[in-house]
Amino acid sequence: MAAVTRKFTMTQKFHRRSRRQPYPVRTITTRSQGMASGCFFERLPAEVFDMVLDRLSVLEISVFSMVSKAINRYIVNHISTQTWRNRMILQKLQHCSSPSSPPPKEDPATLGHYKALGLLFKRCTLLLPTKDRLKFIYSKFSQVPCFMMEQCTASTGCPFFSSYGVFLQTLIAGWDELECHRVFNFLCDFTNLPRKIELVVTGKPGACQRLELQIRGFCRQVLLEPWSSRRDTLFWLTRILQSWPMVSQARLLFILYGPRLPDGSLGWQEQLGAGVAQCSLWDLAKAVILLHSDLEARDWTTDTILAILEELTVLPQAWHVESVARLLILCGNSLCYSILASKALNGRLFEISRLLVYLILVCEKDGYCMNWSVRMVQQVCQVFLSPSDRWSFIQSVENMFSEVTMEMYEVVMAGNRHEDMETFQSLLNASAHFHTEIVYMFLKKD
């Protein structure tokens, strides 16, 4: 009887549970669904909405553009008006209107404004394909004369390039490599950059002085210098150089990073003499180091860099050996040794000996440790496999010391220049310090 009662009770409980009502389904009502008649700003008259936008900063408008698609569309129409472009793009730009006036210094406020503009256009065009985004942005900036380069009136430097570089860097920050390729191709098409580069790399150096400086300013200030990452800078420098043959790459590197004269023009003839300053070659050396730092070696191998250096040091004519030596020291141990070892393997004893003597001279004049040159000679000596070849190499270096010393002595006796006498004294001191280091090294081993 108890079993029957328990069975009936369990059945009754089961039926009671089955008769329980299911939980109601919870639904979420979004804000846009709750406002059937549209948001508050969409109900405002257009004139009032324009007044609201005019009172907002560029950065605030960029944040506001992400509220909804409708507001985004309205803001796009607002920033497309001629009035807004004149006020926020053209008037904010400190443009050098006179070709003879010096370029103004970079204004932090102007750079900050164009950074905010980059963020605004980045957010306004977020839903568009890359090609459409670029076309929209170009249509808004095409009225700036410097955007097309040939309309720029600045002769030695354009203040717009830095502002545009900050704008572009902010706009494409975070884009993948394929999109950045499209950006570069777009800029090449609308600024006619490849044609301009072709004119300067195929013509006589210095013949198109103004165009050389425009290319230098545009490429460095717009494409290269805004990036804090060396990898990003290497990407853009590779895009600029890669499509040209090696001779043109060398000339283009000099246009971009070569030394400039006090009047602002490129110092094509400066390296033909021995008095080139160390600081004037530093930018060029940093560019070569950057290309050589590509660890993946997809675009720039050591052999490629060496070939470019060989072409670079004969522009527009063969450089003075002291200028070559100074550039190699600035390029670092690895590249300097690679150049010397390459000449040694090819049996160019005269060239390598003369270059080593001037490397030792530059170490003395520029205050480098003489022990560095001694170690470099040791490393090059190891390239020669047989004792006879090493002996010939050592003899060639010592004979070159005597030959260069006599050349400088004759120059000093023929003229009355204080610089020649200082160089001659530096060479004598360099020889003494170099051989002192060698003797000390052998004595220390014993």
What one-letter code names the amino acid at 243? S
**pLDDT of 293:** 85
- List all residues 6 or more positions away from 95 whose beta carbon is below 8 Å from its beta carbon: 144, 145, 146, 159, 160
Q: Residue for token digits 């003899």? A: 395
Q: Give the Cα-Cα-Cα angle 206, 209, 211 (nearest 5 degrees).
A: 125
What dihedral angle (degrees, nearest 10) is formed by the CA atoms of 78, 79, 80, 84? 100
Candidates 278, 279, 275, 261; CA nearest to 418 is: 275
- Residue 195 phi, psi dihedral angles, 5° rounding: -65, -40
Specify the DSSP element, H or E, that contains 123: helix 108-124
List average pLDDT for each run of 10 residues in the chain, which is 446 residues long. 46 46 44 47 79 92 91 91 86 50 65 93 92 90 72 66 91 93 92 94 91 92 93 95 95 96 89 84 95 77 93 93 95 94 93 96 94 94 93 95 94 82 93 93 78
- Is residue 144 within 8 Å of 93, Cβ to Cβ? yes
Burial of 199 (0-12, 13-18, 19+ CB in 10 A): middle
Q: In the prediction, which pLDDT does 187 show?
A: 92
Contact 61, 118 (CB under 8 A): no
* Residue 266 main-chain phi, psi, to 5 deg: -75, 140
Q: How confident is the model at residue 400, as a pLDDT?
A: 96
- Give the integer Cα–Cα distance in Å for 338 and 286: 17
Which pLDDT value is given to residue 272?
Answer: 84
Do you find a cis peptide bond into 22, omega within 30 degrees of 0? Answer: no
Measured between alpha carbons, how far is residue 374 from residues 95, 370, 437, 443 in Å? Answer: 53, 7, 7, 14
152, 146 Cβ separation under 8 angstroms: yes
Q: Which of 356, 361, 358 is nearest to 343 (CA)?
A: 356
Which tokens sit at 433? 């310090």
Amino acid sitting at position 33: Q
CA-wise closest residue to 137 among 146, 145, 147 = 147
Q: Reduce the DSSP state of residue 266 to 3 states and report it.
A: strand
260 backbone dihedrals φ, ψ, rounded to 5°: -115, 150
pTM, two decimal places: 0.84
SS (H, E, C) 307-335: HHHHHHCCCCCCCCHHHHHHHHHHHCHHH
Cβ-contact 364, 430 below 8 angstroms = yes
